[in-house]
Structure 1
């Protein structure tokens, strides 16, 4: 059964699907970390750079398929469609929340 996403994750996915970088950044803490495609991005400036590059390159949208929570850790399965081989693909977004902000995001299969 899919858990109801907390507001920071709902806001993140809504902004991601609109390709709105400024709105995508709002739910992240100032010292957040994102790990994607084998690279780690720390802090708002680095995360903005990652968002701009991946949005420009892939133009993805995400349909949330399932979500589970364990304390402050959320695992969200999404059907990701965009400009990449194998689209659509099922990816997992592993979030850690702290004080109602995204403190960590790791994206993988």
Structure 2
């Protein structure tokens, strides 16, 4: 089971609502996606906004687990008009001590850093 922080972020992300999604991140959070790391609220908001327009895709949560006290992995299956058309991706979330704020998010195929 994923904490409310992550499920609400994922719902906002899926809806392509950058303003709603950004509220779940710490001010000094990081997001790593496609080999690039985005630091802080402004860069993450820009990443959320740009990603919403680059491709059209659907995402289905296919697995979730908690490898340690502050880390959650949500595996999604994506299908869309991006290169390759389908991919499974791990969304690896690190949350703060209260599980209410995302301090880091790394998105990559399963087994990749």
Give the TM-score normalised by structure 1: 0.90
Gaps of 5+ in 2: none
Q: How many residues align?
A: 106
CA 1:96 to 1:21, structure 2 compared with 1: closer, same or farther past 3 Å?
A: same
Aligned to 1:42: 39
The 8 Å contact of residues 21 and 52 in structure 1, kept in 2 or not, is answered as yes
Superposed displacement of residue 84, structure 1: 0.2
The question of 1:7 aligning with 2:4 is answered: yes
Indicate the residue corresponding to 1:80 in structure 2.
Answer: 78
**Aligned ranges 1:1-109 → 2 under 5 Å:** 4-69=1-66, 70-98=68-96, 99=98, 100-109=100-109
Q: Is the 8 A contact 1:13 1:62 kept in 2?
A: no
Distance across 2 between alignment mates of 1:48 and 1:64: 23
Aligned equivalents of 1:53 and 1:11: distance in 2? Answer: 20
> Aligned in 2, Cα 1:60/1:43: closer, same or farther, shift over 3 Å?
farther
- When the two chains are superposed, the root-mean-square deviation of aligned CA atoms in Å is 1.2
